[in-house]
Structure 1
Amino acid sequence: MKSTINTSQLITLPDGRSLEYIEYGDCSGTPVLYNHGMPGSAFEAQVLNDVFKDNGLRVICPNRPGIGRSSSLSEYSLSQITQDCFFLLESLAFNKVTVIGWSSGGVPSLWQAKHSHTQISQVILLSSYSHFAELDQAPSHFAGQASVLKQVTTRFPALGLLACKMAGYLLKYMPSLYFKLLMQHCHTPDSDIIEAHPHYRDMLIEAQKQSISQSASTLFMDLLIQFREWPFYLKSIECPVTVFQGDRDPFVPERIGQHLADCLPNAQYHLLPGQGHMYWFEKSFQYRLARLCQI
């Protein structure tokens, strides 16, 4: 019988910081690296546990700096986050992994793909952000709530930080109100998933609480570095990338997924009709995802 790992673990990074990670699925299975959304944490990948265990997949989910028990960074950067993940893979003696990134987790996934030599075989993006410096140059670049969040975070950082602190306060002291407000921004496909699986509500709240457990400024810094210009272009990422995008996603709209597919040289694009941001919580999609990870 396959066994399941779902306990938090820590490793010490070369600079002395701690990196927390959680594993789900089959502890002896094919490794998959999962990059969490924001606000979010490694805890959210528990929804993959059962299907990935049944399909012989071992999911490794690190918390980015300042989230959960991962040490914070004095200078928060995607470059350091990428190095941390590669150190984790080397510590676990993984030669090749599939990388999955959901929402904000797509950005570190793309950075890992860019800087990988042999460690990453493919990347699977689930409603991922793109490189906004390139997206801003594209026709019809406006990208819904993601664009609004980018404008607030980069042009009015004090306001962006205040918004993150307010979200953190609601998460900590009024989680029910926070979740109600969150669901008001979701379209019907996502609210239907939560209604059908009420335990996902508690999972999302806990995962998002972990993102502000040390400081709400972690949420702000994580968003800010993703919206800034990167030192490379999407066309320089050579490994295979599969892009999934719901056509009713209010957080990461269809325009962003299409932009990724247009700019990445080795991408396959799958537009999901009638889907929002949380389609991957459904078992039917998870089996599809598991099959991709087995390639």
Structure 2
Amino acid sequence: MGEPLRTATTPDGRTLAFAVWGDPDGFPVVQLHGTPGCRLERWPDEDLYRRLGVCLVTSDRAGYGRSDRHLGRQVADEADDVLALADHLGFERFGVTGGSGGGHHSLACAALLPDRVVRAACIVGPAPLGDPGLEHDAWLAGQDPVNVEEFGWAIAGEDVLRPALEKELAGMAARVAVDPSTILGDFDLSDTDRAELQRPERMQIIRESITEQAATGVDGWVDDDLASVAPWGFDVGRITVPVLVRYGATDVLVPPAHGEWLAANVPGCVVKVDDDAGHLGSDPEQEIAEHVLWLRDGVPPAGSR
């Protein structure tokens, strides 16, 4: 098994918690978790990463798990933390991938670390809210009402958002204690997403992550939501690193319009649309292998454009 808890110190003195999985001598990939999430979000069969020849690094984004909060952070600030991790581990060049709430943080690394990031992948990641992204109604269109409510809290500010997320977390933890596949509660998910949530491996990840992601409270979740509805602090149009943008046609957490906007605005990106999948994909091991081939070798997934 990989090392589930290691720490580094950022240049501004914060503790950054991370884990290393797979082949320590393999191609380095930094994987950025969703919202909410933590460093334990990976495929639980570590042999998959060994077979792929990957040294996978996962971290607790600031305020999650065992990482210190970075009050007032923007999406762009994730690049500094990823750089601190890479320097700590001696990675000169590496790939970065992020899913869902980690997707736009991966784009920040592509935009701001072009001399270090070989390639990046943004998997079911959101578009910016407002100019130069999607305007408010278009940004929310197609999202499940539970998601719309959460972003309404974020737009209202931390005083509204924090107590609401604390209540949401308590509900999630209670559901997971009974059945991890019900973590998303009343979301009207696609059939493929419901099937994915019932995979034994995914339920294992949910069980392991639910407590750890909020080990010190909901700061990370609060700050992720606030950063997602604010200016990101970088321009996706200035990305020069090769990027894979992947999204699902039946996604109700980050609807296809977000992926379409990114596909049209991330320069030269490779685009993969999963026509039959939602937010969670449909074949995790195959999709992980495809992402590794992209990040390491620049091989686009079959059916991409």
Q: Same fold (TM over 0.5)?
A: yes
Report what 1:193 is aligned to.
Answer: 196
Distance 1:233 1:293 in 2: 22
Distance 1:160 1:75 in 2: 14
- 2:176 aligned partner, one-letter code: P
SS of the residue 2:21 aligns to: strand
Displacement of 1:169: 1.8
8 Å contact from structure 2 (residues 31, 98) kept in 1: yes
Distance 1:93 1:157 in 2: 37
Report what 1:84 is aligned to.
Answer: 81
Q: Which has the higher helix share?
A: 1
Displacement of 1:286: 2.2
Report what 1:202 is aligned to.
Answer: 204
Distance 1:15 1:140 in 2: 37
CA deviation vs aligned residue, 1:98-152 (integer Å, no higher than 9, x gap): 1100000012111111111411011111101122223334995435245554333
8 Å contact from structure 2 (residues 22, 49) kept in 1: yes
8 Å contact from structure 1 (residues 248, 273) kept in 2: yes
Q: Are 1:70 and 2:67 matched, yes or no?
A: yes
- 1:200 aligned partner, one-letter code: R
8 Å contact from structure 1 (residues 164, 217) kept in 2: no
Structure 2 vs 1, CA of residues 52 and 105 (structure 1 numbering), >3 Å: closer, same or farther? same
Displacement of 1:189: 0.2
SS of the residue 1:219 aligns to: helix
| Structure 1 vs Structure 2 CA RMSD | 2.4
Q: Are 1:108 and 2:105 matched, yes or no?
A: yes
Equivalent in 56, 64, 77 of residue 53 of structure 2: 56
Report what 1:227 is aligned to.
Answer: 229
Distance 2:296 2:163 in 1: 43
SS of the residue 2:30 aligns to: strand
- 1:193 aligned partner, one-letter code: E
Distance 2:93 2:280 in 1: 27
Distance 1:108 1:48 in 2: 25
Displacement of 1:62: 1.4
Equivalent in 31, 45, 62 of residue 34 of structure 1: 31
SS of the residue 1:101 aligns to: strand
SS of the residue 2:57 aligns to: strand
Report what 1:253 is aligned to.
Answer: 255
Report what 2:167 is aligned to.
Answer: 166
- 1:262 aligned partner, one-letter code: A
Report what 2:302 is aligned to.
Answer: none
TM-score (norm 1): 0.89
8 Å contact from structure 1 (residues 24, 48) kept in 2: no
Aligned residues: 291
Structure 2 vs 1, CA of residues 31 and 282 (structure 1 numbering), >3 Å: closer, same or farther? same
My pick for the range that moved more, 133-142 or 26-35, is 133-142
Structure 2 vs 1, CA of residues 287 and 278 (structure 1 numbering), >3 Å: closer, same or farther? same
Report what 1:135 is aligned to.
Answer: 133
8 Å contact from structure 1 (residues 280, 286) kept in 2: no
Distance 2:28 2:263 in 1: 25
Report what 1:236 is aligned to.
Answer: 238
Structure 1 spans left out of the alignment, 5+ residues:
none
Structure 2 vs 1, CA of residues 12 and 112 (structure 1 numbering), >3 Å: closer, same or farther? same
Distance 1:210 1:248 in 2: 29
My pick for the range that moved more, 170-179 or 108-117, is 170-179
8 Å contact from structure 1 (residues 48, 286) kept in 2: no
8 Å contact from structure 1 (residues 125, 241) kept in 2: yes
8 Å contact from structure 1 (residues 44, 207) kept in 2: yes
Structure 2 vs 1, CA of residues 230 and 199 (structure 1 numbering), >3 Å: closer, same or farther? closer
SS of the residue 2:223 aligns to: helix
CA deviation vs aligned residue, 1:65-98 (integer Å, no higher than 9, x gap): 1211112234434344321210110121111111
